[in-house]
Amino acid sequence: MASESTKQPNVVAGFLRPYICGGSAAMLASCAIHPIDLTKVRLQLIGEGTRTGVRPSAFSVAANVVRTEGISALYAGLSASITRQATYGTTRIGLHSAFSKKMKEMQGGANLTMFQSFISGFASGAIASIVGNPCDVALVRMQSDGLKPAHLKRGYTGVLNAMYRITTEEGIRVLWYGFPPNLMRAIAMNVGMMSSYDQAKQLITKYNGEGLVTNLGSSAVAGFFCAFLSLPFDMLKTRLQNMKIDPKTGEKPYKNVLDCGVKILRKEGLFAFWRGFFTFYARCAPHAMIILMMREQIYKLYDGVFDTSA
């Protein structure tokens, strides 16, 4: 008699598979690209409210961080970044995989259309933005602290300290500062990364077949659309999440997302919304590549432990 497998189909493991594998890949990717992400945030905040003609390069910003704050400063806010991916990243990648799988099953296994991929990316990105906004506020504030003079530094010691202090000092609703643009950013990023990856991979596979080159090419395409579509919303949410009430007037720099957008447009110009694009692309492309490729490897490891065929 043939020996029976010791593994039993595990329904719970099968359900959790896209979330655990996707979230793990997202956290690893964020550790790898965190210095680029910090540089991007600093670029978005330098020259806030002015039309200064000369802007520092990403390299000069990163070099200045190392020179004035030490190399470890490039990893300021890493705890918030990892926690953010554990919530936001796990939700958006896991839900997109779950939604896509369900739609494929409903149509007999056929590939998703571009519209179906868009719907899956839209829905999963929107839900993830609600879950991840508090960690995102903490992340932006921790990354931007080095730009401030000593008397204005917030001095958070970690993501939990940041969220605790924000809640006790400013109110719990502040954890959802910048939510409207963060919602649109999450949708744009998820549609740009996950949906364009699916479509690009289908197209490139026709000409090149499966393999590393196809995965890298699809990830590069996904990174470009991810950066281009989401950067304006990323700029808005960075400004809103970083704002601090003026102690003299008691007023906020921006009243709401519309006021923030109008002020950036009027004072800094249209292209300010895409400031740091190449830095953001340098963040999005490897981030997308690491997530999408690591996810496949983690899937293999996960499936080696659990039988998710049920």
All structural domains of the chain: 30-48+55-305 (1.50.40.10)
Q: Which residue shows structure tokens 């200045």? A: 64
Mark residue 244 as left, alpha or beta (left: phi above 0; alpha: psi -120 to 50; beta: remaining): beta
Confidence of residue 7 (pLDDT cuts 50, 70, 90): low
* Contacts of 17 by beta carbon, 8 Å cutoff, 6+ apart: 299, 302, 303, 306, 308
Q: How many CB atoms lie within 10 A of CB 246?
A: 10
The string of pLDDT tens digits covering residues 66-109 is: 999 999 999 988 988 899 899 988 998 899 888 988 898 898 88
Residue 288 near residue 30 (C-beta atoms within 8 A): no
- Output the average pLDDT for the chain: 85
pLDDT at 82: 92
Sign of CA dihedral 123, 174, 238, 160: negative
Task: Give CA separation, 1 vs 9, 42, 297, in Å.
Answer: 21, 66, 34
Of 144, 223, 126, 139, the closest CA to residue 182 belongs to: 126
Predicted confidence at residue 164, as pLDDT, reads 94
96 touches 120 (CB < 8 A):
yes
Q: For 281-288, what is the mean pLDDT?
A: 79
| Structure confidence at residue 3 (pLDDT) | 47
Nearest to 101 by CA among 110, 89, 92: 110
* 121 pLDDT above the threshold of 60: yes
Token pair for residue 171? Answer: 């109110």
Most confident range (mean pLDDT) of 12-26, 136-150, 235-249 is 12-26
Question: What is residue 49's predicted lDDT score, i.e. its pLDDT?
Answer: 64
Show the DSSP H helices in the chain as ranges. 11-45, 58-69, 78-84, 90-106, 114-144, 159-170, 179-190, 196-208, 212-242, 257-268, 277-305
Tokens read off for 46: 């330098």
| pLDDT of res. 1 | 44
Confidence label for 4 from pLDDT (cuts 50, 70 and 90): very low
Looking at per-residue confidence, does 51 or 306 come out higher? 306
- DSSP calls for 204-233: HHHHH-SSHHHHHHHHHHHHHHHHHHHHHH
User: Which has more confidence, 84 or 147?
Assistant: 84
Residue in the structure block whose two tokens are 């519309």: 258
pLDDT digits (tens, 9 = 90+) for 220-244: 888 888 888 888 988 888 888 888 8
Share of the chain above pLDDT 70, in %: 94
Using the Cα atoms of residue 248, residue 249, residue 250 and residue 251 in order, give the sign of their dihedral.
negative
**Per-residue pLDDT at 299 exceeds 80:** yes
Categorize the per-residue pLDDT at 8 as very low, low, confident or very high, splitting at 50, 70 and 90: low
Q: What is the C-alpha to C-alpha distance for residues 84 and 233, in angstroms, rounded to an integer?
A: 17
- CB contact at 8 A, 185 and 230: yes
